[in-house]
Chains A and B, each alone.
Chain A
Amino acid sequence: MKYETVIGIEVHVELNTKTKMFCRCSADYFGKEPNTHTCPVCLGLPGSLPIINEEAIKKCIQIGLALGCTISSKSLFERKNYFYPDLPKGYQISQYRWPLCIKGELKLDSGKVIRVNRAHQEEDTAKLTHQGGESLIDFNRSSVPLVEVVTEPDFSSSEEVREYAQKLQQIFRYLGVSNADMERGDMRLEANVSVRPEGQTELPPYRVELKNINSFRFMVAAIEYEVKRQIEAHEKGEKLSQETRGWNEDKKETYLQRSKEEAHDYRYFPEPDLPELKNMDQIKVDLPELPSKKTERFVSDYELNKQQVGILVESIEMADYFEKVVEAGKQNNVTPVQIANYIVNKKVDLSVDPKQIINDIQDKTSNLISDDAEFEKLAKQAIEENQKSADDFRAGKENAIQALIGGVMRLSKGKADAAQTVKILRKLLE
């Protein structure tokens, strides 16, 4: 039997605000001494009260808008109740029934549209380090603003997942809302993977959640392994169940982390300590030109090919730099295509003065043929085409060489250095 893969993706991204989501502790915790960025609020001590970080809300709205979401006029936080050592309050302040951003989409290069169900605001948990049978807790990360972007189960391959995740990462960086570094854990992927017989329209009765995977490459490998494992189980007539699995890079296989026999019951209820958010759709936020728009514009305005543009728009800094050089090239008739070729081929460092790039390109264009063999070939061709002048020169008519020089210039389209031409012609005519 043939099977098809059904995948939905949840992405968590840590926002780069100065402070945490609900208190004024610094959110710049990475690499800091453990438990030095905490206060009664983010430690979940009794009697402490959260206050919403407005900047985080704005960044969440930016993400929502970049994904074409509708911003909910009214939005509420809720408590998601569960017990885990990384969760000091016994609940995470998250959003459930009233997420800030709903129903967006992201288009893949193939034109396939991945539907985004929601982008909501929540808080991060503490960081656990597992060591010799015990777990060490560092609450510095507790309550750092986190946005969760959830898709519909629209992916049918690991490649689509990779492209989506990379595009999303690029959007986060364009917006400047997060470093979105996966290794540091700024951006985390979770994939819900299941397989069903080809042609079946309803979703499979189970799904396997792949979690705690910290690179695009490992996620792709984990999904591919998982699809194979599940198809084999189906073929053997085994029943697959709801569970959470991690990735073992050494063994190149997924492994069971938690089985979810009973359905989760987080007993969500509205957070009584946080008043509701109103008229959120009226909040003004700036959006930069996003990668997809920029790509279209670069292709049509500068007549570049898509592959080149892909490299040029990789980061907003690179794209801005390219356009600065284009601007600088206008007065010197250096075309965007020349500039794009130069920047892409030479992997130009962005600290180089755009004018310098233009100079280099011009030098290169007027650049004298440096390859001796090529030079000699052109000179020989010029002589062959004008045997009479060559004979005249040999016969002592010094002036006859001018015609031959002209021939080399014409053949090289002006890229031959005059002095060098004379030298080579003389050598050949001796």
Chain B
Amino acid sequence: MKIDVKRVAKLASLPLSEAEEEKYSKQLSKILDYIEQLNEVDTLDVEPTFNVTGLSNAMREDQVGDCTIPQEEAISNAPVKKDGFIVTKGVFNE
């Protein structure tokens, strides 16, 4: 099965060199072929499984908890910060 690696890479925001495109194109096609085998099973009357826990309606009350972390910690991984904000390249001047 053929795969449009360029498009997939773009959607995943991954920069690929031409050599990599070539390489991953082959690998991904092989993976798809492998998965393709599942189509041999007749699943016409089987409900799709999206979740394997068997749970449903796992909800919580609307009460504030103690999960909140301090500002310094929240932004500690950001390479650039200013006045408690995380700074990123301007999104409107790309």
Contact = CB atoms under 8 A, between A and B. Distances in A.
B46 interface: no
Contact of B85 (A55, A84, A133, A137): A137
A257 B88 CA distance: 18
A418 interface: no
Interface in B32-73: 50-51, 53, 55-71
Chain A interface size range: 35 or more
Contact of B92 (A54, A130, A278): A130
A34 B82 CA distance: 10
Interface in A23-80: 23-26, 33-41, 43, 51-57, 76
A51 B59 CA distance: 6
A314 B68 CA distance: 38
A126 to B, nearest CB: 9
A167 interface: no
Main secondary structure of the interface of A (DSSP, over half): loop
Given A133-B93, A136-B82, A275-B57, A38 B87 contact: no
B62 A18 contact: yes
Given A136-B85, A136-B86, A25 B68 contact: yes
A177 B50 CA distance: 30
A278 B68 contact: no
Contacts of A40: 67, 69
A270 B51 contact: yes
B13 A276 contact: no
A67 B5 CA distance: 43
Contacts of B31: none
A25 B61 CA distance: 12
Interface string A125-148: 000111001111111000000000
B64 A25 contact: yes
Interface residues of B, number: 37
B62 A135 contact: no
Contacts of A137: 85-88
A277 interface: yes
A41 B67 CA distance: 9
Contacts of B88: 85, 134-137
B89 interface: yes
B57 A135 contact: no
Contact of B59 (A23, A52, A265): A52
A51 to B, nearest CB: 5
A51 B62 CA distance: 11
A277 B7 CA distance: 33
A81 interface: yes
B50 A57 contact: no
A206 interface: no
A83 interface: yes
Contacts of B50: 76, 270, 272, 276
A19 interface: yes
A56 B62 contact: yes
Contacts of A128: 91
A43 B67 CA distance: 12
A326 B82 CA distance: 57
B15 interface: no
Contact of B90 (A57, A135, A274): A135
Interface in A244-281: 257, 265, 267, 270, 272, 274-279
14 contacts: A17-B62, A24-B66, A25-B65, A34-B84, A38-B68, A39-B68, A52-B59, A134-B88, A134-B90, A135-B89, A136-B87, A137-B86, A275-B58, A276-B56
Interface of B: 7, 11, 13, 50-51, 53, 55-71, 74-75, 82-93
Interface of A: 17-19, 23-26, 33-41, 43, 51-57, 76, 81, 83-85, 128-130, 133-139, 257, 265, 267, 270, 272, 274-279
Q: Which 9 A-B pairs have the closest CB atoms?
A: A24-B65, A55-B62, A136-B85, A54-B59, A270-B50, A275-B55, A39-B67, A137-B86, A278-B56
